[in-house]
Structure 1
């Protein structure tokens, strides 16, 4: 069965990507997925799947401009729709891999998505990702004391950022501590680091987004944390101790770093919703199979009224969520109609999307476990893995609460939240 998809919005590349990701998922994820939780630290089974997707299929080159060897996705009129589809299809197989892939692309968006492309920095960093070697990136944002304060940019304007960048001649000197970035723990080759040039002052001119190669002196990473789920997503501490990078490694400059950083928020909401949608679709596939196979009162489980009502609710959630995801994706693709991807309006719409799709996904996972009983909690049937993984999607980027605050601020013109 297929849920709603607006075919006239699809690009040929989107359809092609869906086909190759499904082929990849069946060959390189499904045979190993039930072992991923035990592989959370070493990634012996996870890394080969990532390498196939990122290197052999070329995903790590996708966003970079064509003149530097990339696909030029950042200049595509279908940028948002393709990103959503890639996250949806990977999320169908494993949302931990989806976020690891998505966050590798995140820092690149700031400098490689039209109409704001920093060709000098693309020339500097794109060659890293053109190698026939798994190359990952991380968005070093969250700090131990700050929670979601950094994402709360419109309200706090970087006031609570404690990772500092001081200009010393032609170099930035960076000091600070970041916590839980995806692809930390020794995975990432390049960090996009959120810094302040004037600690404690609420002014977006002080917000600096600076690129830091992971192998520079003064960069130290901790061991990965063991989480409830998302084994394919390594998270640890990163310390920057007098790390020196060239002045040109700052993405754009005063005021513009904060402005264009917001594309990380809008696309992050889209990607989160996309991978949650993919997880829901796989839960639906598992339910379809088990509720057709299991019998109650002499007939398939799905042919009982109470069960069918729950199954209908789950299908309706997926149907509506998919439409919402691709509506927002198309809005991001048409700034001429809907405004810039980093505008307050588009961020509020993205927050609303993430809020509702992640809520729906958590409900779907829990109701699926209720229906399947012991099959739901059995690790041989994958529903419980999705249940653990998708809760984490709901929690990141400030969780439900920051989504609610951003939505209320925009749609109700709240001034004191």
Structure 2
């Protein structure tokens, strides 16, 4: 088994790390605290071609492999997890359009999405339906050559910039089971009745907006049905979430890595009783545990990504990676805060932001407890094996 990057992946990582260290790390804390949108960073990501990460080369994108996709989000989240959010939802949506869209949809949207001239996200969650996507109530009634859409979506990343926004709807609310009546519509931002009503205040994950989107009698041309066939929306969304879990796992590794780095640096600089606190065994045990968990999460995530690259079904593997990496981020953020002592509670130190950002990864792309049940069912049924 090869646990090393290719030369191309290594060069890409080094270039990306340089960008993060120069353009993101110096401004992240101040911009996050002031609520400033990272416009300049977004423009630089466009120049670097990062909005085309998962867009095939034929449509102007990078067509990146899943391991390179993972290392992208690890490096960016190490600088500022909110920036990774801007790119994450966009990339997952691009992957879904590339994999399931009609040729017209791909030709019309993917080149501009790859260049960052358009941006996108994905609207799944509702006020009464999160992990249980079959419980959504947003409906799309066919009316001639249009669908009339009504409903509300919540926690939508990139909502104020997404054009088009893929929206999960019920085209046949009476279907049994419910997923057979679910579809995805690509709704353009200027469509009458499509309204981003508010930004939702959050504990962390700042820098990108998370919004409520209200759809009131929105008339969407039938040609905007993803893939052109009704009833495939749940399948399309779940396939995208496999990639999304790699994205979230990699973000978690970035947060965990930064928490570890900050703890290590602080322990070397901080003195107590005339000694650097890194010389105390209690601190050493914390540092060792953090480092071990970060590297374990990294290897698990990159292994899961390599399974996707091999063309294998990887819902169990990506679920494991997302679950373990996000728990690692939570652990490392808290332990790093403890190493910092009272200063860890201050907004003047990076670890305070990491501590607020970490919980999202345990919630997003399926809560960890739900993923545990999904993993267990796969193992018990024999659909997945380990070892």
The reply to whether TM is greater than 0.5 is yes
* Contact preservation (8 Å) 2:78, 2:254: yes
* Contact preservation (8 Å) 1:10, 1:81: no
After superposition, residues 338-377 of structure 1 pair within 5 angstroms as 339-340=312-313, 346-377=314-345
How many angstroms does 1:235 deviate by? 0.9
- Whether 1:30 aligns to 2:13 is no
Please state whether the residue corresponding to 1:60 is helix, strand or coil.
helix
After superposition, residues 113-152 of structure 1 pair within 5 angstroms as 113=99, 118-129=102-113, 133=117, 135-150=118-133
Q: What does residue 63 of structure 1 align with?
A: 54
CA distance in 2, matches of 1:241, 1:168: 15
Counterpart pick for 2:366 among 389, 398, 403: 398
CA distance in 2, matches of 1:265, 1:132: 22
Q: What does residue 224 of structure 1 align with?
A: 199
- Whether 1:312 aligns to 2:304 is no
Please report the TM-score for the alignment, with normalisation by the length of structure 2. Answer: 0.92
How many angstroms does 1:109 deviate by? 1.1
* Number of positions where the alignment pairs a residue of Structure 1 with one of Structure 2: 379
* Contact preservation (8 Å) 2:49, 2:115: no
- Whether 1:89 aligns to 2:75 is yes
Q: What does residue 21 of structure 1 align with?
A: 16
Counterpart pick for 1:196 among 155, 161, 170: 170
After superposition, residues 179-194 of structure 1 pair within 5 angstroms as 179-184=154-159, 186-194=160-168
Counterpart pick for 1:10 among 1, 6, 14: 6
Q: What does residue 385 of structure 2 align with?
A: none
310-319 or 23-32, which moves further after superposition?
A: 23-32
How many angstroms does 1:255 deviate by? 4.5
CA distance in 1, matches of 2:116, 2:140: 33
CA distance in 2, matches of 1:395, 1:36: 24
Counterpart pick for 1:267 among 243, 261, 265: 243
How many angstroms does 1:260 deviate by? 3.0
- Residues 249-307 of structure 1 show CA distances to partners (whole Å, capped at 9, x for unaligned) of 22222444332322222111111110110111111221221111112333221111111
Q: What does residue 223 of structure 2 align with?
A: 248
Distance 1:304 1:130, change over 3 A: closer
After superposition, residues 315-330 of structure 1 pair within 5 angstroms as 315-330=291-306
Counterpart pick for 1:167 among 142, 145, 152: 142
Please state whether the residue corresponding to 2:96 is helix, strand or coil.
helix
How many angstroms does 1:172 deviate by? 2.1
* Contact preservation (8 Å) 2:197, 2:213: yes
How many angstroms does 1:234 deviate by? 0.6
CA distance in 2, matches of 1:170, 1:372: 61
- Whether 1:111 aligns to 2:80 is no
- Whether 1:49 aligns to 2:41 is yes
Distance 1:303 1:38, change over 3 A: closer
Q: What does residue 375 of structure 2 align with?
A: 407
- Whether 1:291 aligns to 2:293 is no
- Residues 173-204 of structure 1 show CA distances to partners (whole Å, capped at 9, x for unaligned) of 221110111112x2322211001112253243
Please report the TM-score for the alignment, with normalisation by the length of structure 1. Answer: 0.85
Segments of 5+ residues of structure 1 without an aligned counterpart are 74-78, 151-157, 341-345
Segments of 5+ residues of structure 2 without an aligned counterpart are 383-387
Distance 1:200 1:306, change over 3 A: farther
Q: What does residue 300 of structure 1 align with?
A: 276
Please state whether the residue corresponding to 1:140 is helix, strand or coil.
coil
Please state whether the residue corresponding to 1:263 is helix, strand or coil.
helix
CA distance in 2, matches of 1:225, 1:132: 24
CA distance in 1, matches of 2:211, 2:34: 16
How many angstroms does 1:365 deviate by? 0.6
- Residues 37-96 of structure 1 show CA distances to partners (whole Å, capped at 9, x for unaligned) of 3343x51xx12112211x1111113322333322233xxxxx211110111111110111
CA distance in 2, matches of 1:365, 1:138: 28
CA distance in 1, matches of 2:20, 2:286: 28
